Amino acid sequence: MTVLRRHPDVHGAGLSIVEWRAIIDSAYSGAGHGAIRNVDEARGGHFDAIFVGGGSAGRFGAAVLRSLGGRALVLERWPFLGGSCPHQACVPHHLFSEAARELDQWQALQGRLWFPPFDPAAASILELVQLFRAQRSGPHAHMNWQSADQLGIEFVVNTEAEVLDTRTVRAAGRAYTADALVLATGSRAALPGIEGEGLPGVFDYASLVEDLDYEPRRIVVIGGSKVAVEYGSFFRAVGRPTTIVSRSALLTSGGPARMDADLRQFVVDGMRTRGIDVLEHSVATRIVGDGRVQGVEVLTPSGTQFLEADFVLLGTGEEAVTDSFADALPLRYDPRGFVAVDDRMRTNLDGVYAAGDVIGPPMEMFKSRRSGTTAARTIMGLDAEFHYQDIPDFLHTTYEVTWAGLTEDEARARFGDVATIQLPPRGMSPGDTPLPMAEGSMLYGFTLPERTGFQKCVIDPGSRKVVGIHHAGYGAKTAFQYLHHLMSRPAGLTIDELGDMNELYISSDYFVGYARLRANQATLTSM
């Protein structure tokens, strides 16, 4: 094991993932190290670009800049690259959502097959948080190892960076210069600004991971978008009474504003069936407590309610983190406080770019990575643009919920009549058929057929193109990356091309097989 001094220079040390993990763990415990430098000092302190922030935008941007022959430096306050995703956001969320899927299945199948009666004391939110907290440096270490060893990225981590001007950044007592800066400092949870939001027992997605030290027993989630739905589903699956308080109808604003109405209905019905109390068109007006949270006052369409709670999760949006550069740079921001950029990730300041969460929603990995690589390409003189109006999207309840393209309503508005392929078939009670039973919902297919999922494909009968795909189930999320790409080509994806593919039966989506059943129809009809 390599022993490191304070402010160690690890350049060329060839650290293994196991060694990186020990370094990150000791840095995080406060026991050791200041800044950890992986910089080729022989090449001096000037770079083609400095990425301020080593999350996915900075890391992917730096990798591509280097692929193009440039020299990149990444500066990061945490002792690892990869950013908030593996530390507080998407990775723990996926761990919790997988636990939710398993625990939901246990509740659903209790007393059948090998499932004993469900025991809400068996699973613990605290234990899952502690498991994540104890093990999260594993992915962190992989990122550092990969960045240094496989990608050849230069970086200084475990240090606060301070932007001095459009060409100079100070970190760990050194000033580094570059021809370009890429601001990629991310986002954090935005507070709703209500009384009591600072009480112990009130958390956001990040402080949940960092600070939880007791087992929540009765939960209120404030918010109606992805974070609220995902964490609310998790808490309920563990067996905790959970209420979601949402200003608008659930999943109709914020991130997933363009969910197909039938898909949304399946998802929200499923949440209610599982016992989640959903208060829509309701506003949390005050969090009540006496030293710690005791409940939430809510204004509902039928009057004021008091919801008892020993745990409140705020899922009320995110704001840009600009501390390290706001004073030094006269940047233009959008109305919500995110750094304004154009399609090439250029800010209003010459040579200053921004990427990742700091430029605003969607707060998704592909946007973060691709905005970082777009900045890198632009800096290196390539003709790079990145548009993210038409994107695939997803969320978790106890299902993977994924969609891309147009909703049925949008398609009808655009094309007039449309053909749809849908499972369960339109108008049929989901309990009357086990379909779309598939990879991941086989046990339900033979026990609780109404739980197998929902899928819909929307086709413009004129062009025969697939214009929208919508799915709740398991195992189709990854497929939507490629389906969306096929749909986004200038030629689009016709139902006939789809039907000529080779399906891997039982696939989680029935799109290929059902398209084949309708292929060759001169006038497409729904099914």
Q: Scan residues 81-140 and list those touching its own copies (CB under 8 A).
A: 85, 90-91, 94-95, 97-99, 102-103, 105-106, 113-114, 116, 119, 122-124, 127-128, 131-132, 135, 138-139
**Member of 9, 11, 13, 16 binding its own copies (CB under 8 A):** 16
Nearer to its own copies, 328 or 443 (CB): 443
What distance in Å separates the CA atoms of residue 282 and residue 123, rounded to the nearest whole number? Answer: 30
Nearer to its own copies, 53 or 440 (CB): 440
Nearer to its own copies, 134 or 261 (CB): 134
What distance in Å separates the CA atoms of residue 466 and residue 459, rounded to the nearest whole number? Answer: 4
The closest alpha carbon to 199, from 307, 289, 286, belongs to: 289
By the rule CB under 8 A, 507 interacts with its own copies: yes
* Shortest Å distance, C-beta 40 to its own copies: 18
What distance in Å separates the CA atoms of residue 516 and residue 527, rounded to the nearest whole number? Answer: 12
**Member of 370, 451, 456, 464 binding its own copies (CB under 8 A):** 370
Tokens for 79? 């002792």
In this structure, what are the phi and psi dihedrals at residue 353, rounded to the nearest 5 degrees?
-120, 165
By the rule CB under 8 A, 434 interacts with its own copies: yes
Count residues binding its own copies (CB under 8 A): 104
In this structure, what are the phi and psi dihedrals at residue 284, rounded to the nearest 5 degrees?
-75, 115
Enumerate residues 393-432 that contact its own copies by CB under 8 A.
Answer: 393-394, 400, 402, 425, 428, 432
Contact 339, 347 (CB under 8 A): yes
* Shortest Å distance, C-beta 247 to its own copies: 27
Tokens for 167? 């060409």
* Shortest Å distance, C-beta 370 to its own copies: 7
* Shortest Å distance, C-beta 417 to its own copies: 18
Nearer to its own copies, 149 or 319 (CB): 149
The closest alpha carbon to 204, from 196, 212, 214, belongs to: 212
By the rule CB under 8 A, 379 interacts with its own copies: no
By the rule CB under 8 A, 513 interacts with its own copies: yes
Nearer to its own copies, 34 or 362 (CB): 362
Please, what sign has the CA dihedral across residues 43, 45, 47, 49? positive
Nearer to its own copies, 199 or 501 (CB): 501
By the rule CB under 8 A, 22 interacts with its own copies: no
What distance in Å separates the CA atoms of residue 353 and residue 345, rounded to the nearest whole number? Answer: 5
Nearer to its own copies, 196 or 468 (CB): 468
Enumerate residues 484-503 that contact its own copies by CB under 8 A.
Answer: 484-486, 500-503
Nearer to its own copies, 306 or 482 (CB): 482
Nearer to its own copies, 105 or 158 (CB): 105
By the rule CB under 8 A, 302 interacts with its own copies: no
**Member of 330, 332, 388, 416 binding its own copies (CB under 8 A):** 388
**Member of 13, 68, 191, 328 binding its own copies (CB under 8 A):** 68
By the rule CB under 8 A, 146 interacts with its own copies: yes
Q: How far is CA 355 from CA 49, 59, 256, 446, 474, in A?
A: 13, 11, 21, 47, 31
By the rule CB under 8 A, 63 interacts with its own copies: yes
Q: What is the contact mask toward its own copies in residues 437 to 456, using x (rule: CB under 8 A)?
A: xxxx-xx-xxx-x-------
By the rule CB under 8 A, 235 interacts with its own copies: no
In this structure, what are the phi and psi dihedrals at residue 261, rounded to the nearest 5 degrees?
-60, -40
**Member of 60, 78, 203, 399 binding its own copies (CB under 8 A):** 60
By the rule CB under 8 A, 391 interacts with its own copies: yes
**Member of 15, 75, 129, 151 binding its own copies (CB under 8 A):** 151
By the rule CB under 8 A, 64 interacts with its own copies: yes
R_g of the chain, CA atoms, integer Å: 25
In this structure, what are the phi and psi dihedrals at residue 469, rounded to the nearest 5 degrees?
-135, 140
Contact 113, 448 (CB under 8 A): no
Residues 6+ apart with CB under 8 A from 511: 421, 455, 457, 466, 469, 483, 498
Nearer to its own copies, 333 or 366 (CB): 366
Could you give the angle at which helices 17-28 and 137-145 cross, rounded to 10 degrees? 120
The one-letter amino acid code at 98 reads E
Residues 6+ apart with CB under 8 A from 20: 80, 140, 141, 142, 144, 145
What distance in Å separates the CA atoms of residue 37 and residue 485, rounded to the nearest whole number? Answer: 39
Nearer to its own copies, 3 or 522 (CB): 522
